[in-house]
Amino acid sequence: MNVPIGALAVDLTLLSALRDKAGAASGLLKALGHPNRLLLLCLLVEQERSVGELEGLLGLRQANVSQQLAKLRAEGLVGARRVGKSVYYFIADPAARRVLMVLYDIYCGPEGSAHV
């Protein structure tokens, strides 16, 4: 196949950008790959929540919830805001929110119950 030199340069530039984006997507999918982190994120798609609320909803110990939230914060997927003594967590990454909304629609929404 004959490829013009200019087209090859554009393709190499595009390939470099795609590699960067693939790395970011891979990081997001890795974070979503842990069941407890995915559950936390699914609950945060609905609304922001405190650690205590997440602990009660998931039936996990506070230490486990906090550990998973810390990992998600380090990845930049969730953010937090303090109100008095409570800390509320929310989805901070717009790309993560979009992916989670699709997963939520497929698996958690009214129509998603048929897929589970």
With a cut of 70, list the residues of the chain below it in pLDDT: 1-10, 110-116
pLDDT of residue 4: 55
Q: What pLDDT score does 3 carry?
A: 52
Average pLDDT, the chain: 86
Give the global pTM: 0.77
Separation of alpha carbons 7 and 12, rounded Å: 9
CB 93 within 8 A of CB 105: no
pLDDT at 18: 86
As a whole number of angstroms, the distance between CA 2 and CA 27 comes to 36
Domains defined along the chain, listed by start: 34-114 (1.10.10.10)
pLDDT at 49: 97
Identity (one letter) of the amino acid at 82? R
Q: Report which secondary-structure segment, H or E, holds 50.
A: strand 49-50
